Structure 1
Amino acid sequence: MNDKTIKKNITRLWNQAYINYDDCYAHGLKSKEEKKEWLRFLRKVIGKQPCSILDVGAGTGFVSLLLAELGHTCKGVDLSENMLSKAKEKAEKAGFHNVTFAIGDAEDTKEPADQYDVVINRHLVWTLPHPEKAIKEWKRVLKPGGRLVIMEGNWHYNRLSDRIQVFFGKCLITLVEHRNAFSNDGDYDKDTKEELPMMKSRNARRLAQMVQDAGLKVTVIPMTEVDRAEKQAMPLRYRLLNPHKRITVIGVKE
């Protein structure tokens, strides 16, 4: 499958998913405590000094809007026009003038070199056909001394205990919500998945090495408190469905 077809398939899925995306647990904010922990975490990894930030794979603007609230100037790019329409709507409703959104490819941003203090993304790398290429591109657009911030999780569970937990979560969702939680609707087709390396043999644990291989100085930070606040807002069935643990990989361009 060529790149054009892969990205067309990816874009189509997210153009369909935008309607309910923010309603899903682990996607949109579900409690004041969760928002508080996200803001605290972003202050920790970015700092209080106002920065110019590129949010790649911005989706409905989750990260971009939190960064705007913290006083940073942020541009969010995404392949999905529909996801970005949601982001723009939310920014307008919040009255933010320090955030913009545009169609853009995370692997080829078309941004000038040495442009941003920070390049950031959340839950993006697993859906890229060429993650190493993307990391090099993000390094290119960073200013010297700038930071790459990648927030990712192990979404594809290999441990038996996790698989059992997810199975019971799906059973409960099916019973309580009267829908088939075992359906693959809203997921990538098999051929597309085969082209996404982070959905196969690679996962979030590989990210630190990939960022280091791109020539960045790496730090890894667990997202324990964000995960805790997020899961506290979930009913039991969704806590079972989501045993993931997230990390943030920070790479500094020297």
Structure 2
Amino acid sequence: MQSEGIAEGANFTLRDEIKAYWSARAATFDQSPGHEIFSEEERAAWHALIERHVGRRNGAKALDLASGTGVISHLMDDLGYRVTGIDWSEAMLERARAKATSRGRAIRFHLGDAENTLESGDSYDVIVTRHLVWTLVDPKACFAEWLRVLKPGGKLLIIDGDFVNTGLAERLVKRLAAILERAGILKAQATHASAVMAGAHENILSRVHFSGGARADAVRRMLEEAGFSAVAADTNLRQIHKAQAKHFGFFKATARGMQHRYAIVAQKPAS
């Protein structure tokens, strides 16, 4: 049985399901605030976050893992990096390549697996990921691979969050929004994923390694166990949330700002 590109079957692994899910989402991915960037204010906020942790480095090599349609790749390119984007969804890569061409960017995108990049060891100054870690089936293997690929002294920047656990305040905000929508007082926001896709997302989320939520402390500990040093978590993403809020409704923006979202920076030891 197949629904909207999501397949089922005995030989269809969880990793295959994740790949199929994001391939099916590719066509509408850039339509969602929080995925693509919709204002120069938000772009500036992302630049500030990246510069704060890995700097602006003309000519340095950056690897964007699970690059999707290339949103983070373009931010890194803005800051002077020579960027390679890897994704295992060809549908995402098609859009990433088209976007780079239309913007005149020399970003290289190719098909690849974050757990087995096939990149040379000690070859990148920076590795960056956004919203990848929560989907990982085997984060230990991935973190070991990323450590291998980084140059000595190179940095890893993870931007992610806990999309499972919600606090009482967030639940109340969402409940109030739902009540107001049902009453016709609040206009329901457009969604870019069907109920079938939302169900597939929940099903996948329940079976990945961080099914209980990718908390910053847990990710940080695993990075240290993998051999990374100077691992630090930054939960101050307020400027990004503030810029994105203008493109969400009040209640969704409020709930989103309450979520446990973070950036983690880690370094490969110099020797």
Separation (CA, whole Å) in 1 of partners of 2:179 and 2:115: 37
- The equivalent residue for 2:84 is 75
- Which is worse superposed, 223-232 or 26-35? 223-232
After TM superposition, the score normalised by the length of structure 1 is: 0.89
The match for 1:195 among 207, 231, 246 is 207
Amino-acid identity (%): 28
Matched residue, 1:227: 241
1:35 aligns with 2:43: yes
Query: Where does 1:157-196 land on structure 2 (aligned, <5 Å)?
Result: 157-170=165-178, 176-177=187-188, 184-187=195-198, 188=200, 192-196=204-208
Aligned pairs, number: 253
1:45 match: 53
Shift, 1:134, TM fit:
0.8
Structure 1 residue runs without a partner (length 5+)? none
User: Is 1:109 the equivalent of 2:117?
Assistant: yes
- The AA in structure 2 aligned to 1:216 is F
Q: Return the alpha-carbon distance in structure 2 between the equivalents of residues 247 and 3 of structure 1.
A: 35
Equivalence for 1:156: 164
User: 1:78-157 to 2 correspondence within 5 Å?
Assistant: 78-97=87-106, 99-157=107-165
RMSD over equivalenced CA pairs, Å: 2.6
* Contact 2:87–2:112 (8 Å) recurs in 1: yes
CA distance in 2, matches of 1:31, 1:184: 28
Is the CA contact (8 Å cut-off) linking 1:59 and 1:87 kept in structure 2? yes
Which runs of 5 or more residues in structure 2 are unaligned? 1-8
Structure 1: how far apart are the matches of 2:12 and 2:205? Answer: 15
Q: Does 1:211 align with 2:254?
A: no
**Taking structure 2 as the reference length, what is the TM-score of the superposition?**
0.84
C-alpha deviation, 1:244, in angstroms: 2.1
- Residue 251 of structure 1 aligns with which residue? 266
- Write the distance in 2 (CA, Å) between the matches of 1:233 and 1:54: 29
Distance 1:75 1:4, change over 3 A: farther
The Cα shift of 1:49 comes to 2.0
Distance 1:180 1:66 in 2: 25
Cα deviations across residues 110-158 of structure 1 (Å, max 9, x unaligned)? Answer: 1111110011100111111111211111111000000011011222233
Structure-2 change in CA distance of 1:12 and 1:47 (3 Å):
same
Give CA deviations for 1:161-197 in whole Å, capped at 9, x if unaligned: 2222233345556752487999743233665334302
